[in-house]
Amino acid sequence: MIKHLMPLILLLFMTPAVAQVEKKLKVKTTDLDKAFVASEISAKVQGYEDVAKAIWNFAELGYLETKSSALLQETLRKEGFIVQSGVADIPTAFVASYGSGKPVIGILAEFDALPGLSQDTVPYKKPIIAGGTGHGCGHNLFGTASSAAAIALKEWISKNKKLGTIRLYGTPAEEGGSGKTFMVRAGLFEDVDAVLHWHPSDGNAADAQSCLAVIGANFRFYGQSAHAAGSPQVGRSALDAVEAMNYMVNLMREHMPQEARIHYVITKGGLAANVIPDYAEVEYMVRHPNINGLIELWDRVIKTAEAAALGTGTRMEHEIVSGMYSLLPNETLAKVMHNNLTKVGGVTYTPYELDFAEKIQSTFTYAPPPLLKAQTIEPNKISFFPASTDVGDISWLVPTTGLGTATWVPGTAAHTWQAVAADGMGIGMKGMINAAKVLAMTATELFNSPVLIEQAKEELKKKRGVNFQYKTLVGDRKPPYEYRATMR
């Protein structure tokens, strides 16, 4: 009897002071855990900078990131991770795992570059290779910081004999290839409890952020070639069809939500002015804040293509290359990440970096924000970013949150030579290390506080609604392995 009453007796005699001490001990333990993973990252800064610079030099495009993916995989294997290569039928995708049991915390790692953005690490425009590739979105830093965070967490799990799994997802082709969408479709996130990610930026913020859902596709028109002067009546111009489609889409802009976006580029338009083109191709991206609105707008774009083919006597085919959901913000996780970002702080420039930053800002055609922005942590808030990411698909299935750190000079836009320059030198590396620390510290908090994960899951269920069913926007097509092949 006394044995069964002991827990109750102890509870009755536990004074508020004792309870407060226990509370403080728990907080202290959490702080020690965060300090441990941060110190693990600090101890290996030079190695991580070397990895990031190597990937910056590789500058490999989507689905072609053979060297970049291999380097990250080898780095993780050496640290004791079990690595599965070529997941989701994507040669450069991988999953690296350490630990066992629940919770399963996923960290995303990107590593693809962009076409036409080759640039040296100097504060003026200087391509290394004319027309070459470059890391204009900082994914060389992204993949490295995420791996650094995972490795620090591995050390923490091992040292403390923690139950749980850290899982690093190597996700290729974010830039228009929807790599994560295919990984979601393959079921690689079904047992994950929370997902953390980050992205290079010109400031420091950990908002509960949403963005635009998107469908990307190629429209191909087939006509009949003929001599443009001698026998034009015989020909049917595929280029006319592309131009007719583009004209009708541009007329649509007056009659669509102002938050939506449509953009296109003619990728093939004929070979000679005196030969009526029998083939032409245009690439489209259609964006909308929500899935239902996107599908409705997409159907309207399809109709313009069909009408263009009908009116020009040509034939049309279209192929969806990519499709991504909007980000579903998770305020529960965002607040945790914001608190850890505040602990880590922003980026402080050396005299050399300050001079570099001032020269970069002098190349802008607009008034830049103060350089002190790199040191400042933005307030935590719900925000909207008018672009797209394949992290969106994950966020509708697993509680997900992310952050941005100042890897670029304040005022720098993504996908610019100014971003590439910073991504390969000290300014970018400092922001990368800060991001790694925030990711690792946030993960320790989730491992230590199962209630946070449950709250995040409840928020996810509430926001997506009881009738939500995930349906990929890319259908059953294979990943578009060659969508960047001609841009190397």
CATH number of the domain residue 252 falls in: 3.30.70.360
What distances in angstroms separate CA 11 from CA 4, 20, 23, 26, 214, one per listed residue? Answer: 13, 13, 15, 18, 55
482 falls within a domain: no
483 falls within a domain: no
Contact 241, 312 (CB under 8 A): yes
Residues 307 and 444 in one domain: no
**Coil, strand, or helix at residue 189?**
coil
Q: What are the residue ranges in the chain where pLDDT is below 50?
A: 1-27
Residue 5 has a pLDDT of 40
Domain limits for position 116: 32-210+326-464
Domain end among 324, 339, 354: 324
Residue 484 has a pLDDT of 84
Residues 286 and 430 in one domain: no
Residues 75 and 169 in one domain: yes
Which DSSP category does 24 fall into?
A: H
Residues 190 and 234 in one domain: no
Residues 74 and 198 in one domain: yes
Contact 41, 444 (CB under 8 A): no
CA distance 309 to 304: 9
Residues 66 and 138 in one domain: yes
469 falls within a domain: no
Residues 225 and 162 in one domain: no
422 falls within a domain: yes
Bridge partner list, 281? 220, 268
Q: Which of 258, 109, 103 is nearest to 191 (CA)?
A: 103
Residue 123 has a pLDDT of 98
11 falls within a domain: no
Q: What is the reported pTM? A: 0.90
Domain end among 324, 358, 388: 324
Residue 488 has a pLDDT of 56
Residues 386 and 305 in one domain: no
CATH number at residue 134: 3.40.630.10
Strand order in the sheet with 400-406: 82-85, 94-100, 164-170, 104-109, 194-201, 400-406
CA distance 395 to 200: 19
**Residues whose CB is less than 8 angstroms from the CB of residue 284 and which lie 6 or more positions away in sequence, other chains included:** 216, 217, 218, 219, 249, 262, 263, 264, 301
**Coil, strand, or helix at residue 100?**
strand
Cα angle: 195, vertex 36, 79; to 5 degrees:
65
Q: Which of 370, 125, 326, 371 is nearest to 211 (CA)?
A: 326
Bridge partner list, 84? 95
Residues 37 and 66 in one domain: yes
188 falls within a domain: yes
- R_g over Cα of the chain: 25
Residue 385 has a pLDDT of 87
CA distance 44 to 326: 35
What are 226's two structure tokens? 């003929």
What are 420's two structure tokens? 């590439």
Residues 203 and 299 in one domain: no
47 falls within a domain: yes
192 falls within a domain: yes
**Cβ neighbour number for residue 158 with a 10 Å cutoff:** 12
CA distance 476 to 478: 7
Residues 40 and 75 in one domain: yes
**Cβ neighbour number for residue 449 with a 10 Å cutoff:** 15
Residues 179 and 237 in one domain: no
Number of separate domains in the chain: 2
Would residue 347 be called left, alpha or beta, if left means φ above 0 and alpha means ψ between -120 and 50 degrees?
Answer: beta
